[in-house]
Amino acid sequence: MRDKRGKFVELATNRVSRTIKDLRLIGNLSNRSAYEYTEDDVRKIVKTLQRELDVMKLRFAGGAQGADRDFSL
């Protein structure tokens, strides 16, 4: 069985890499020749992502867990 540190490193590496890829894919949505969106849409996406990042930081600092929220425009 893996030790806790090894498991953390493996999972963190995979999850952060996947998140970076997904953030880049979200960034691809900024292509106005392929997509139509409003500034309100952009603000909602950024606000939601920032909120989730803030919750993740709090969890690492020993704070309370955030509520699960689904996203939709």
What are the average pLDDT values for consecutive 10-residue runs of the chain, which has 73 residues? Answer: 89 98 98 98 98 94 76 88
Count of domains forming the chain = 2
- In a shared domain, residues 42 and 65: yes
Cα–Cα separations (whole angstroms), residue 34 to 28, 31, 37, 45:
9, 6, 10, 18
How far is residue 6's CA from residue 24's CA, in Å, rounded to a whole number? 27
CB-based contacts of 10-18 (< 8 A; 24+ apart in sequence): none
Question: Which pLDDT does position 66 carry in this prediction?
Answer: 65
- In a shared domain, residues 45 and 26: no
Question: Which pLDDT does position 9 carry in this prediction?
Answer: 96
- In a shared domain, residues 15 and 44: no
- In a shared domain, residues 1 and 28: yes
User: What sign results for the dihedral spanned by CA atoms 59, 25, 20, 50?
Assistant: negative
- In a shared domain, residues 28 and 50: no
Cα–Cα separations (whole angstroms), residue 67 to 10, 23, 70:
25, 21, 10
Q: Residue 12 sits in which domain range?
A: 1-33
- In a shared domain, residues 20 and 43: no
